[in-house]
Structure 1
């Protein structure tokens, strides 16, 4: 059923809000790490853009049916990090410490996909 006044299951709000908190905890301290010479703009641009996306997760968590249309974009946001890390690690081109973060992003992406399917249209 869909319609005005429909609410999403509680886990969806918690999933998006939890992802936002996790993302900020992982991303913001990277501003304090030394960046490779010449790559500072790229690194800080990535950190800033990814951090801003965490705020989108927070907003979606506040009203999942209203922002349901953004959920597939959130899935994509998780895939663009998780998939390359897994592929690069499998090919010996990414360090082992990145793999858990890539797998967490893939798990969050699956959760976002499930949330999209479980959220009624507003």
Structure 2
């Protein structure tokens, strides 16, 4: 990964997540967060569309860091967890886009790229 980008991701993740010290790791095939760390799919920084994916995934996961209550109890229901996460994804993406209008473009880039190249998962 480009050194400048590697250094920028945790800074932007902390700013968007409104939480100091958010750790950002780039590896694997999934984008996710536990509220303290953000994991982004590995990407080739030489391919602009993949760099756009990284920024979009970072915006989405940092929005979870900022707005999601990670202590919700789903009472063991996988369906309840999935439906709640779907609604939460919509809510946090709208919220982060209101505060940081540029995030809406990054999030739209992810949707566009996932339609073209659905091998990535978030």
Shorter-chain TM-score above 0.5:
no
Structure scoring higher RCO (CA < 8 A, sep ≥ 6) equals 1
**Bigger CA radius of gyration:** 1
Which structure shows the higher strand fraction?
2
- Scaled by the length of structure 2, the TM-score of the pair is 0.33
Return the structure number with greater helix share: 1
Using structure 1 for the length normalisation, give the TM-score: 0.33
